[in-house]
Amino acid sequence: MRLSVPAFAKVNWMLEVLGPRPDGYHEIRTVLQTIALADVLHFERTEEGIEVVCAHPQVPAGPANLVFRAAERLRRTQGVKAGVRIRIEKHIPVAAGLGGGSSDAAVALLALARLWEIALDPEQMLDLGRELGADVPFFFIGGTALGIGRGDEVYPLPDVHADILLLANPGFPISTSWAYGQLTKRGIPGNISVCSRAWHRAVGVWPAVRRDEGGREVVPILAIVAGNDFEALVRERYPELTRGLDRLRGCGALCVGLSGSGPTIFGVFESEREARWAESALAALGWWRARTRTVDRPEYWARLVASLSGEASGP
Residues recognised as catalytic = 10, 135
Prior bond of 22 cis (ω within 30°): no
Q: Which residues contact 110 (CB under 8 A, 6 or more apart)?
A: 5, 125, 140, 304, 308
Handedness of CA 267, 108, 69, 151 (dihedral sign): positive
Percentage helix, strand, coil for the chain under 3-state DSSP, each rounded to 5: 35, 25, 35
Three-class SS of residue 257? Answer: strand
Sorted by sequence, the CB contacts under 8 Å of residue 19 that are 6+ apart come out as: 26, 27, 188, 189, 190, 191, 192
Nearest to 235 by CA among 281, 296, 152, 170: 170
Cβ atoms of residues 120 and 283 within 8 Å: no
The phi-psi region of residue 98 (left if phi > 0; otherwise alpha if psi is between -120 and 50; otherwise beta) is alpha
CA dist 148 and 36 (Å) reads: 24
CA–CA separation, 18 vs 192, rounded Å?
Answer: 6
